[in-house]
Amino acid sequence: MLRIKEIIKERGLTIGDIAEKLGIARETATRQINGNPTIETLQKYAEALNVPIFELFEVPPVDRITCPHCGKHIHISK
């Protein structure tokens, strides 16, 4: 999962603000953020948000996995 929306919100910005910075329409930015952006597109967002590209990705918790069949979270403990 991508964290672009979360980072935008943390920075007190809107998708429109980032779209303007990137020189694209807000609708285009929304489609890119919600879709499956290329690495080049992700790099542009990382630069616009002034973060390393890896911060755009959600890191899954180590004590939880997601069932590939039903999508429910499964907690793992020792």
pLDDT tens for each residue of 1-47? 899 999 999 999 999 999 999 999 999 999 999 999 999 999 999 99
CATH number at residue 31: 1.10.260.40
| Residue 60 pLDDT exceeds 70 | no
Domain range enclosing 32:
4-75
> Quick one: pLDDT band at residue 67, thresholds 50, 70, 90?
confident
Residue with tokens 């999962």: 1
CB atoms near residue 33 (< 10 Å): 19
| CB-CB contact of 64 with 76 (8 Å) | yes
Domain count for the chain, please give it: 1
Nearest-angstrom CA–CA distance, 20 and 9? 16
| Residue 77 pLDDT exceeds 90 | no
Residue 74 confidence (pLDDT): 83
Q: Higher-confidence residue: 55 or 67?
A: 55
